[in-house]
Chains A and B, each alone.
Chain A
C-alpha cells in the first residue's frame, strides 16, 4: 500500500510541475498569441499545440520515472500526471470566471479562457480540459511503451508536421520560388496553416523515410564507406558544391523579407564567431561584447558620414580603420582584466559595455558621436560602380565576411595560438608554467574577438545607413552569448545553428518575438542543466563538460 502511494506522489508531483508550466505559458500570453497561427488550418492552432505538447511531455516524464514495474503502472502514472497537469489550468478558468483576475494578471482574459475550454463554456470546458490532459498523459505513456522503431516512426513525422506548420511562411516562399512546383503549395497550405491532406502527406512521407532509413540506413552507410576514397571525396565535394550554389542563390529565391532575415542572422554569425573565440577557445566570458560592435559601427559612421562632416571616406576605405579600432579597444579592454577570475571578468566587461553605451548616448560627447539622435546618412558600399543597396545585395558581403571569419576561426583553432588559448582556458597556472605568455595570449583573444565584432558593426552601420545608441545595449551582448552557448561553445557550426535558432526563428515567427527573451532565458537555463555543450557540440568541450560524470562513476574501492 505504501509503495503505491509513493507512485502516486511521484506522478502527482510531475503533473503539478507540468501543469504549472502550462499555467505560466498561458498567463504570460503565449498560448493566446500563438493561437493566431494554425498548424493545420481550422483544426489545430499553434497555441493548442503548445498546450498539448506540455501535457504530453508531462505524461512522458511521468512514464519515464515510474518505479513500479509493469505496463499498467506506466499508463496509470502518465494518466495521473496528465490529469494533475490539467488542474492548474482548470483552476485558472474556474477562478477566472468568478473573479476578474485581469487587474493583476494581464493575460487572464476571457479569450484565454475560451481557448482553454475549447469554446465549450466554463463547466463543460473544464471537464473537457481535464479529460484532454489526462488523455494526453495516457498517449504519452503509450508512446513510452512502444518499441524504439515505432517511436521514431511516430515522432519524426509529427515533429515535421509541427515544424512545417510553424515555419509555413518560409516553406511557402521557398516552394513558390520554383515556378512549376508552386502547385505543391496549393496542396500543402491553406490560408493559415497546413491543409489536412497536406499534413497527412507530410506525415506519411516522413514516416516512410524514417522507416526506410532505420531498416536500410546502416546498409547505405556501409556502402558509402566501402566506396573508394576518391569516390567518397568526390561525393562530399559535390555535396559541398551544391551547398555553395544554394547559398549563392538563396536571396534570389527567398525574396526581400527573408533576405533581410538572412542578413540579420549573418551579422550575428559574424559577431558570434568572434565571441566564440573569446568564450569558447580562450574561456574568457565577455559580457560587454556590444562595446566592440558599437566601436566598429561608430568608427565607420564617423569616417564616412557627411552628416558629421569630419571625414568622407568610402565604406571600403573606412573598413580597415573600423577593424583597427576594434583591435585597439580589445587590447585596451583586455589590459585591466588580465588578472581577473571568470565571474569578475564577466561583470567588468559588462561594465565596459555599459560605459560605452552611456558615452555614445551622452550629451557631453554629442558633437562627435551624435548623442541620442545618432549619426545618419552613412553610405552603402560600392563594388565597382554597383551599389549594395538592398538586403539581397548586402547578403553577399555578409556571406563573404562570414566565410573569411569562419576560415580564420577554423584555422586558429588548431594553430599554436589556438592551443595556447585552450591550455589557458583549462588551467592558467599550468599553462604559464608551460611557457605560454598569458598576457599576449589573452590580449590576442580579446583583440581577435573585438576585430570580428567591429567588422560586423561596420557592416551593420552601412547596411542600416545610420547608427543609434539605443541599438547598442546589453541585450545584444546577451543575444550573441546565448547563440554561442546554445549552439555549442567553441564550435563553429554551433554558432551557425545557434544563430538560426535564436535569431532567425524569432524573426520568422512574429508571434514568438514578444517572448524572445523569456525563451532565451529558459533555453539558457535548460541547456546548462541538460546539455551544456550545446546543440552542435565541439568535441573537446563535450569531453570537458562530461568529465565529472565519468570520474564520479569510477570505482572508489581501490583500497
Chain B
C-alpha cells in the first residue's frame, strides 16, 4: 500500500501540502492570539466586516467581467482593470461639473439624478472601451497561440493607463463630497457608514440583475452556451461574435458601475487605480471558479472579507508590525493558494485545471 501511495504522490505534492499546512497553522495561531488578546472591540470588527463586504461587492462586480470573458474566450482580459478605471475617470468630469454648477447638492432628488447620470456615463464609457478593445486587440487574435492574446492584453492595459495619464494628467482627481452619502447610521451601540451600506446594496442589486440576465433571458442563455461549447453553440445558430461583444458590454457595464462605487467610497480616481483592484478581482474570479458567474460574486465577497479581516485577525496576532501594509500581499497569497490547492475554485469550474 505504501508503494501505491508513493506512486500517486510525488515530492512536489508533498512540498505543496507542507506549504499549505504551514499557512493554515499560521492563520489559526494568529487568529487565536488576536481574539484572545481582546485588542479589538466589536465595533472595530463590525466596521471591518462591512468594509470588507463593500470592497467585496466591488470586486465581485469587476470579477464578473473577467469570468464572463474567460468563459466565452478562454483568455484573461488583463486590460479589464483599465475598463474599470476608464468609467469613473471620465465620469469624474461630469460629476465635477455638476458639483461646480451647484446642481449636485441643490436637492436630494437632484443628487439622485446626478448620481444616476454619473453611473450611466461611467457604464457607457467602460462598455465602449471594452468593445473597442475586443474589436481592435482581441478579435484578430482569436486563433493565435495562448501567449499572444495575453501579451496583447498586457500591452492594451498599459496603453490605456498611460493614455489616460497623457490625456488627463497623473494627479488624483477627487470626487466631490456628497452629503447624502456621508455620515453613519446609528443602531444603538453600532455605527455603520452610510457609504458602505450604499455600496453593498448597489453591488447586490447589480449582481442580482446580472444574474437574472444570464439565467432568464435568451441572450444570457446564449452566452452560457458559448461559454460551455463554442462550436456547438455556433451550430445551434448563435452568432458567436455578437455574443462575445455582448459579454464585453456586460463586463464593461458592471466594471463601470463598480468603478463609480469605488470612487464614491475612496473619493478619488487616478489613472493607475485599475491595476490592483483588477488583479484582486481576478483573484476573486478564480476563487469562485473562473467561468462561473455566481462564483465570481461569491469569490468577490469572500476575498473582500479575507482582505479586510486578515490583517487584524491573524497578522496582528502574530506580532507583525504594521499589518495593513501587507493587505495586498494577503490577496495575492490567497490567489496562489487557490491555484495550488483548488484551481477549480469554490464552485468547481474545471476550466482552470489543465485538460487531462
Q: Do A and B bind each other?
A: yes
A binding-site residues for B, Cβ under 8 Å: 24, 27-30, 104-107, 279, 283, 285, 287, 335-344, 346-348, 350-352, 354-355, 358-359, 361-364, 366, 428, 439, 478, 481-482, 485, 489, 515, 517-518, 520-525, 528-529, 532, 544-545, 548
Chain B's closest residue to A443 (CB) is B12
Chain A's closest residue to B133 (CB) is A525
CB-contact partner of B148 in A346, A358, A528, under 8 A: A528
Contact assessment for B16 and A336 in the assembled complex, using a CB-CB cutoff below 8 Å: yes
Contact assessment for A352 and B336 in the assembled complex, using a CB-CB cutoff below 8 Å: yes
Q: Which 4 A-B pairs have the closest CB atoms?
A: A524-B155, A28-B166, A521-B159, A521-B158
Chain B residues within 8 Å of A350, by CB: 279
Contact assessment for B146 and A342 in the assembled complex, using a CB-CB cutoff below 8 Å: yes
Contact assessment for B12 and A106 in the assembled complex, using a CB-CB cutoff below 8 Å: no
B324 to nearest A CB, angstroms? 10
Chain A residues within 8 Å of B145, by CB: 544-545
User: Which of B120-128, B227-235, B247-255, B325-333 participates in binding chain A?
Assistant: B325-333
Contact assessment for B12 and A338 in the assembled complex, using a CB-CB cutoff below 8 Å: yes
Chain A residues within 8 Å of B144, by CB: 528, 532, 545, 548
- Assuming the contacts A358-B329, A359-B329, asked whether A344 and B137 have C-beta atoms less than 8 A apart, the reply is no
Contact assessment for A354 and B329 in the assembled complex, using a CB-CB cutoff below 8 Å: yes
- What is the bound-complex CA distance between A525 and B155, given in angstroms? 5
Check B140 for interface membership: any CB of A closer than 8 A: yes
B279-292 to A contact mask, C-beta < 8 Å, 1/0: 10011001000000
Check B160 for interface membership: any CB of A closer than 8 A: yes
Contact assessment for B158 and A340 in the assembled complex, using a CB-CB cutoff below 8 Å: no
Chain B residues within 8 Å of A336, by CB: 16, 19, 336, 339-340
Contact assessment for A362 and B336 in the assembled complex, using a CB-CB cutoff below 8 Å: no
Contact assessment for B161 and A517 in the assembled complex, using a CB-CB cutoff below 8 Å: yes
Chain B residues within 8 Å of A352, by CB: 332, 336
A25 to nearest B CB, angstroms? 9
- Assuming the contacts A478-B154, A515-B162, asked whether A525 and B137 have C-beta atoms less than 8 A apart, the reply is yes
- What is the bound-complex CA distance between A350 and B352, given in angstroms? 17
- Assuming the contacts A107-B167, A341-B352, A524-B155, asked whether A364 and B321 have C-beta atoms less than 8 A apart, the reply is yes
Check B205 for interface membership: any CB of A closer than 8 A: no
Contact assessment for A335 and B322 in the assembled complex, using a CB-CB cutoff below 8 Å: no
- Assuming the contacts A347-B76, A363-B321, asked whether A523 and B148 have C-beta atoms less than 8 A apart, the reply is no
Chain B residues within 8 Å of A105, by CB: 167-168
- Assuming the contacts A105-B167, A478-B154, A521-B159, asked whether A339 and B354 have C-beta atoms less than 8 A apart, the reply is yes
B binding-site residues for A, Cβ under 8 Å: 10, 12, 15-16, 19, 75-76, 93, 136-137, 140-141, 143-152, 154-163, 165-169, 279, 282-283, 286, 320-323, 325-326, 328-329, 332-333, 335-336, 339-340, 343, 352-354
- What is the bound-complex CA distance between A351 and B335, given in angstroms? 8
Chain B residues within 8 Å of A364, by CB: 320-323, 325-326
A-B contact pairs, 28 of them (CB 8 A): A27-B166, A104-B168, A106-B169, A283-B147, A336-B340, A340-B339, A340-B354, A343-B76, A343-B146, A343-B150, A344-B339, A347-B286, A351-B279, A351-B283, A351-B335, A355-B333, A364-B320, A364-B322, A428-B354, A515-B162, A518-B165, A520-B158, A522-B159, A524-B154, A528-B148, A532-B144, A545-B148, A548-B144
Contact assessment for B12 and A363 in the assembled complex, using a CB-CB cutoff below 8 Å: no
Chain A's closest residue to B158 (CB) is A521
A37 to nearest B CB, angstroms? 18
Chain B residues within 8 Å of A355, by CB: 329, 332-333, 336
- What is the bound-complex CA distance between A532 and B146, given in angstroms? 12
CB-contact partner of A358 in B76, B146, B320, B326, under 8 A: B326
Contact assessment for B322 and A532 in the assembled complex, using a CB-CB cutoff below 8 Å: no
Contact assessment for B326 and A362 in the assembled complex, using a CB-CB cutoff below 8 Å: yes
Q: How many A-B residue pairs have CB under 8 A?
A: 168
Contact assessment for B160 and A521 in the assembled complex, using a CB-CB cutoff below 8 Å: yes
Chain A's closest residue to B12 (CB) is A335
- What is the bound-complex CA distance between A520 and B158, given in angstroms? 8
- What is the bound-complex CA distance between A551 and B325, given in angstroms? 52
CB-contact partner of A342 in B12, B147, B168, B282, under 8 A: B147
Contact assessment for A525 and B352 in the assembled complex, using a CB-CB cutoff below 8 Å: no
A76 to nearest B CB, angstroms? 27
Chain A's closest residue to B319 (CB) is A364
Chain A residues within 8 Å of B333, by CB: 351, 355
- What is the bound-complex CA distance between A279 and B333, given in angstroms? 23
- What is the bound-complex CA distance between A523 and B150, given in angstroms? 14
Contact assessment for B166 and A363 in the assembled complex, using a CB-CB cutoff below 8 Å: no
- Assuming the contacts A24-B163, A335-B16, A340-B343, asked whether A354 and B332 have C-beta atoms less than 8 A apart, the reply is yes
Contact assessment for B15 and A335 in the assembled complex, using a CB-CB cutoff below 8 Å: yes
- What is the bound-complex CA distance between A322 and B236, given in angstroms? 58
Chain A's closest residue to B149 (CB) is A528
CB-contact partner of A517 in B76, B151, B152, B158, under 8 A: B158
- What is the bound-complex CA distance between A351 and B337, given in angstroms? 11
Contact assessment for A343 and B166 in the assembled complex, using a CB-CB cutoff below 8 Å: no
- Assuming the contacts A341-B354, A358-B325, A364-B321, asked whether A528 and B163 have C-beta atoms less than 8 A apart, the reply is no
Chain A residues within 8 Å of B168, by CB: 104-106
Chain B's closest residue to A356 (CB) is B329
- What is the bound-complex CA distance between A107 and B340, given in angstroms? 47
B21 to nearest A CB, angstroms? 14
A69 to nearest B CB, angstroms? 28
- Assuming the contacts A350-B279, A362-B326, asked whether A478 and B339 have C-beta atoms less than 8 A apart, the reply is no
Chain A's closest residue to B90 (CB) is A104
- What is the bound-complex CA distance between A358 and B146, given in angstroms? 29
- What is the bound-complex CA distance between A222 and B335, given in angstroms? 60
Most buried by B among A358, A359, A544: A358
- What is the bound-complex CA distance between A341 and B351, given in angstroms? 10
- What is the bound-complex CA distance between A24 and B159, given in angstroms? 12
Chain B residues within 8 Å of A481, by CB: 151, 154
Chain B residues within 8 Å of A283, by CB: 147
- What is the bound-complex CA distance between A521 and B160, given in angstroms? 8
B88 to nearest A CB, angstroms? 15
Contact assessment for A520 and B147 in the assembled complex, using a CB-CB cutoff below 8 Å: no
Contact assessment for B166 and A524 in the assembled complex, using a CB-CB cutoff below 8 Å: no
Chain A residues within 8 Å of B322, by CB: 362-364
A276 to nearest B CB, angstroms? 13
B163 to nearest A CB, angstroms? 6
- What is the bound-complex CA distance between A515 and B141, given in angstroms? 26
A54 to nearest B CB, angstroms? 16
CB-contact partner of A528 in B12, B152, B162, B340, under 8 A: B152
B31 to nearest A CB, angstroms? 18
Chain A residues within 8 Å of B163, by CB: 24, 28, 518
B273 to nearest A CB, angstroms? 15
Chain A residues within 8 Å of B158, by CB: 478, 517-518, 520-521, 524
A111 to nearest B CB, angstroms? 16
- What is the bound-complex CA distance between A107 and B163, given in angstroms? 12
Contact assessment for B15 and A339 in the assembled complex, using a CB-CB cutoff below 8 Å: no
- What is the bound-complex CA distance between A363 and B326, given in angstroms? 10
Chain B residues within 8 Å of A338, by CB: 12
- Assuming the contacts A107-B166, A335-B12, asked whether A532 and B329 have C-beta atoms less than 8 A apart, the reply is no
Chain A residues within 8 Å of B152, by CB: 524-525, 528-529
A541 to nearest B CB, angstroms? 10
Chain B's closest residue to A30 (CB) is B166
Known: A346-B76, A515-B162, A521-B158. 8 other contacts (CB 8 A): A336-B336, A346-B150, A348-B335, A348-B339, A518-B159, A522-B155, A545-B148, A548-B143
Chain A residues within 8 Å of B336, by CB: 336, 348, 351-352, 355
Contact assessment for B140 and A529 in the assembled complex, using a CB-CB cutoff below 8 Å: yes
- What is the bound-complex CA distance between A463 and B86, given in angstroms? 40
Chain B's closest residue to A517 (CB) is B162
Chain B residues within 8 Å of A362, by CB: 322, 325-326
Contact assessment for A525 and B166 in the assembled complex, using a CB-CB cutoff below 8 Å: no
Chain A residues within 8 Å of B93, by CB: 104
Chain A residues within 8 Å of B19, by CB: 336
Most buried by A among B147, B279, B282, B339: B147
CB-contact partner of B151 in A337, A348, A524, under 8 A: A524
Chain B's closest residue to A334 (CB) is B12
